[in-house]
């Protein structure tokens, strides 16, 4: 695991966007694992701008999203399919038939989840998996006590997650209480992982995930096991990292990091 601390959220987002776009330009048929949430909104705007400036093409890419709410149709404005189409897919040159999300309205959710796993394998696996981190330490919707070997499945949402996301629905009672999510094991299968975290509200949980024990109570802590994982955060999110001076020194002095400037 490598930790790259940037001065502010905009710089952290810009670096993340550049890494993703550079990787797509290097491997035109990249398979991207994508995330949703507030942290990603500005990231996708940055990626769209790079596309509009002819810095990157997504014409041969495929994407797999981490999760989707159970019971929301794709055209529901609170669904993650709507979110992705609105903020990214409809603004770049990707084939919508090559953008995949778990099917939260499938007649057989368990079978649909298994098919999702098979589709990822059929595409050759995920080259770069983008992640945020939730207030419970979840990646995807892998809430506390999620198995670190788990695969795509249905998951009950934790009270903290409901409280955090509920306002987006206007009324907490309108928010689905369950979601389909890639498992921790599915995420760890990605060839490279980039986790983006910004803001003081993420400082405590990021420190636990990066420097604390590996535990199913904080699914993001499993990223410590991945051989090619990069944590990109701003100074606010890095506030409680005990090793932050060491992380700064690596970034500033090691030649292999110079391409990130």
Q: Of the listed 138, 226, 234, 235, which one is catalytic?
A: 138
CB neighbours of residue 50 within 10 Å: 20
- Active-site annotation holds for 252: no
132-144 b/e (C-beta count within 10 Å ≥ 16 → b)? bbbebbbbbbbbe
CATH topology of domain 7-193: Rossmann fold (3.40.50)
Q: How far apart are CA 206 and CA 218, in angstroms?
A: 10
- Active-site annotation holds for 67: yes
Span 7-26, pLDDT tens digits: 999 999 999 999 999 999 99
Span 84-143, pLDDT tens digits: 999 999 999 999 999 999 999 999 999 999 999 999 999 999 999 999 999 999 999 999
Q: How confident is the model at residue 255 (pLDDT cuts 50, 70, 90)?
A: very low
Q: How far apart are CA 16 and CA 167, in angstroms?
A: 27
- Active-site annotation holds for 41: no
Q: Of the listed 14, 143, 189, 234, which one is catalytic?
A: 143
Decide: 246 and 211 in contact? Cβ < 8 Å.
no
pTM summary value:
0.95
């Amino acid at each position: 695991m490598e930790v790259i601390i940037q001065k502010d959220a905009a710089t952290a987002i810009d670096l993340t966007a550049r890494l993703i776009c550079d990787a797509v330009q290097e491997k035109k048929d990249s398979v991207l694992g994508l995330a949703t949430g507030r942290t990603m909104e500005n990231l996708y705007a940055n990626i769209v701008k790079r596309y509009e400036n002819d810095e990157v093409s997504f014409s041969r890419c495929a994407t797999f999203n981490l999760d989707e709410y159970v019971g929301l149709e794709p055209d529901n404005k609170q669904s993650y399919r709507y979110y992705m189409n609105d903020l990214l897919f409809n603004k770049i040159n990707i084939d919508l038939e090559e953008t995949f999300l778990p099917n939260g309205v499938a007649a057989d959710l368990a079978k649909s989840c298994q098919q999702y796993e098979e589709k990822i394998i059929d595409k050759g696996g995920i080259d770069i998996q983008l992640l945020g981190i939730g207030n419970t330490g979840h990646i995807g919707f892998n809430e506390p006590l999620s198995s670190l070997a788990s695969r795509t499945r249905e998951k009950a949402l934790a009270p903290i997650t409901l409280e955090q996301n509920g306002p987006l629905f206007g009324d907490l009672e309108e928010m689905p209480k369950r979601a389909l999510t890639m498992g921790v094991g599915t995420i760890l299968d990605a060839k490279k992982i980039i986790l983006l975290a910004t803001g003081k509200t993420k400082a405590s949980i990021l420190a636990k995930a990066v420097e604390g024990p590996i535990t199913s109570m904080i699914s993001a802590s499993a990223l410590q096991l991945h051989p090619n994982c990069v944590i990109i955060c701003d100074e606010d999110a890095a506030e409680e990292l005990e090793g932050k001076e060491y992380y700064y020194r690596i970034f500033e002095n090691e030649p292999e990091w110079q391409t990130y400037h």
